[in-house]
Amino acid sequence: MKLPEIHILDEKDKRLRLKSKDVSFPLSKEDKKNIKDMLEYLKMSQIEEYREKYNLRAGMGLSYIQMGIPKRIFVVVDEDEEQETFENYVLINPKIVSNSEELIYVGEGEGCLSINREVEGIVPRYARITVEAYDINGNPFTIRVREELSIAFQHEMDHLNGILFIDHIDPKNPYKNANQMREI
């Protein structure tokens, strides 16, 4: 496998703070290629052999804006370690239509391919969300996700709105309200 050429913006790049615009259909060939490359890149980043070969950080999700393109598109690649398979999710013009009251957070902290440093603190996320979006062919769909996938989807949706996960962490009290949420 050859690593797709993707340039991921660093947190210092002001473009990450842009609010992404809705996408119209049909998608261009370039958009379809970008989506395919993003999925391939994330999959390779989760396979140890390629991670070492190409010096990659493991990533689960990537939004268009992280490549400097302000379009409302993100992808998530979820590894099923037991089955040794990957589930690909492509969401275009996504909207959260419902969420659980229960809040969760990643115990070891969230990470981001645009933030190349350790960050202390927790990010409150909904345990379950329902999202309406469009697929690569412009077909509408609804998906309900929970736990890690819910966190990944919310993280990527934040990117589409110019928000980084570090914005959710209270700098004075990085573990604020942890006792009111469930750690995963």
Active site residues: 156
78, two tokens: 């979820």
63, two tokens: 């939004």
Rounded to whole angstroms, how far apart are CA atoms 50 and 121?
A: 29
- DSSP H helical segments within the chain, as ranges? 29-45, 48-53, 147-160
130 contacts 162 by C-beta, under 8 angstroms: no
178 contacts 105 by C-beta, under 8 angstroms: yes
User: Strands 182-183, 103-105: parallel, antiparallel or unpaired by DSSP?
Assistant: parallel
Closest CA to 18 of 63, 65, 62: 65
Whether residue 94 is preceded by a cis peptide bond, meaning omega within 30 degrees of 0, is no
Q: How far apart are the first and last CA of the chain?
A: 32
